[in-house]
């Protein structure tokens, strides 16, 4: 039962970190665009990449509570984040057709699948606890 409880707790913390990172991204990207500091595509890309180290540290310390991660854990995490956003973008671009309800469902499903896969890869590979 403890394994189930700790996995559910990790999943909840993963969601909290993801939501906080998303809010930071949205606020900073919208602010940079609104103030005319960056073009929207540039703001989105740069700020998304800039938040990756903060999300990594939050997942390492808060979500997965790992003292020492492997030397390749940060590059692996960064690559996972980039791969996830690219995959979600490619899938949604190919499936979106202008029907709001269907499109919203596609966005929700792709983001949900990407989040679950990201959580599993983080737990099993990137932030794997030493035996």
At residue 120's C-alpha, the angle toward residues 118 and 125, to 5°, is: 95
pLDDT value, residue 2: 54
Q: Are 63 and 14 in contact (CB under 8 A)?
A: yes
Nearest to 95 by CA among 80, 113, 118, 117: 113
Buried b / exposed e over 38-71, threshold 16 CB at 10 Å, is beeeebbeebbeebbeebbebbbeebbebeebee
The pTM assigned to this predicted structure is 0.86
pLDDT value, residue 1: 45
131 residues of the chain, pLDDT tens digit each? 455 558 889 999 999 999 999 999 999 999 999 999 999 999 999 999 999 999 999 999 999 999 888 889 999 999 999 999 999 999 988 988 889 999 999 999 999 999 999 999 999 999 987 65
């Amino acid at each position: 039962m403890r394994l189930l409880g700790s996995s559910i707790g990790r999943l909840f913390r993963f969601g909290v970190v993801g939501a906080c990172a998303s809010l930071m991204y949205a606020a900073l990207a919208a602010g940079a665009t609104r103030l005319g500091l960056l073009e929207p595509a540039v703001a989105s890309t740069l700020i998304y990449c800039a938040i990756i180290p903060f999300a990594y540290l939050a997942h390492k310390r808060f979500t997965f509570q790992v003292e020492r991660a492997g030397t390749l854990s940060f590059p692996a995490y960064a690559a996972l984040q980039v791969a996830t956003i690219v995959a979600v973008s490619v899938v949604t671009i190919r499936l979106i057709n202008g029907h709001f309800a269907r499109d919203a469902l596609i966005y929700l499903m792709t983001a949900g699948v990407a989040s679950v896969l990201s959580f599993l890869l983080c737990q099993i590979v990137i932030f794997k606890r030493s035996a």
